[in-house]
Amino acid sequence: MMKPLLSFEHVSCYFPTSFGELQAVRDVSLDLYEGEIFGLIGETGSGKSVLGLTALQLLPENARVTGEVRFESKSLLQLSEKEMRHVRGKEIALIPQNPASSLNPVLKIRTQLREAVRHVKGLKDKEGYLVSWLQAVSFPYPFKLLHSYPFQLSGGMKQRILTIMGAAGQPKLLIADEPTKGLDALARHDVVEALRNICRQTGATLLVITHDLHVAQTLCNRIGVMYAGRLVERNDADSLFATPRHPYTEALLLARPTAGMNPMAGSSPNLLQVPSGCTFHPRCPYASEKCIEELPPWTEYEREKYVRCFLYASCT
Ligand code: SF4
């Protein structure tokens, strides 16, 4: 049996607000294996980015996290900030979601990339190393690019630079938070190809957090679907898109432009007042009395295929 590289074990995340404590992530357990590309999908506010940031301990100081996050033999939530600084960038790297604010506007790309690889041991030719990375993600004029400033690059180019900044430090795990947000179709394609090439060449594991279903479908091996802080379905990407089981997944797929843009009923719940039972019940066309009263169990309806819905609760 393969050993997971990263495990979330019953992870919950809470944030204090003036209206009470908001629970952004609810009892999520999930394993990521070496070399795979795992996608977390769901609407804004479903908790997918919060879960990703938990692994890096990058949540605001007032956040409260319970459960366990294991990376190899380390229990990440038990590490001090000093110990986490050794993990971030070297073992787990974040590719942030906003290239405009994540790159320093007054520093050349070369300076920023050199900083990202400063801890890589035995690198004699840093410039050559960076050029090889730029070529790996299909930049045609890598030397010219190294001497450019961020304002001279398009949104898609900046996102690919951020991808290199994460990957060139040779981490075992990359977390890409909305890597294609705000990009046009061509730039999205370039970023997806860059991520795919990087994983292929380095063997790194990739956790992609995205609301872009096309990106999830074309890039990921396995996918987890989150709704109102909970994982509601997990499957391999092909099966999930061919036969979605959870009614929320089904509704997400039906809302795609290629499926006729059928709008989903209702809206995401207020996380300070989530519905009882199955949190999706106010929007679900199959809801019954039981769905309003009880939380459906996490059910393995076929080998390695999981769903949290009473429609499948007896399929074990
Ligand atoms: Fe719908 Fe009930 Fe399944 Fe929830 S448990 S998704 S309300 S059928």
Residue ranges of domains in the chain, CATH in brackets: 6-315 (3.40.50.300)
On the question of pLDDT at 98 being above 90, the answer is: no
Mean pLDDT of 199-218: 95
Mean pLDDT of 292-316: 92
Mean pLDDT of 90-112: 91
Query: Which tokens sit at 59?
Result: 């949540």
Name the CA radius of gyration of the chain, rounded. 20
Mean pLDDT of 83-103: 90
Residue type, 187: A
Give the pLDDT confidence score for residue 316 in this predicted structure: 54
Kindly state if the Cβ of 313 falls inside 6 Å of ligand 1: no
Q: Which residues are registered as beta bridge partners of 65?
A: 13
Q: What is the pLDDT of residues 263-295, one digit of tens each?
A: 999 999 999 999 999 999 999 999 999 999 999
| 291 Cα nearest atom in ligand 1 | 2
Average per-residue pLDDT for the chain: 94
Kindly state if the Cβ of 151 falls inside 6 Å of ligand 1: no
Kindly state if the Cβ of 277 falls inside 6 Å of ligand 1: no
Give the pLDDT confidence score for residue 277 in this predicted structure: 97
Banded pLDDT at 100 (limits 50, 70, 90):
confident
List the one residue out of 26, 43, 49, 40 whose CA is nearest residue 283. 43
- CA 45 to ligand 1 centroid distance, Å: 20
Kindly state if the Cβ of 312 falls inside 6 Å of ligand 1: no
CA distances from 180 to 39, 155, 193 (A): 13, 9, 11
Residue scoring higher pLDDT (200 or 313): 200
Q: What is the pLDDT of residues 13-46, one digit of tens each?
A: 999 999 999 999 999 999 999 999 999 999 999 9
Mean pLDDT of 146-165: 93
Ligand 1 atom 3: the closest Cα is on which residue?
309
- CA 233 to ligand 1 centroid distance, Å: 12
Kindly state if the Cβ of 187 falls inside 6 Å of ligand 1: no
Give the pLDDT confidence score for residue 315 in this predicted structure: 59
| 278 Cα nearest atom in ligand 1 | 4
DSSP 169-224: T--SEEEEESTTTT--HHHHHHHHHHHHHHHHHH--EEEEE-S-HHHHHHH-SEEE
- CA 287 to ligand 1 centroid distance, Å: 5
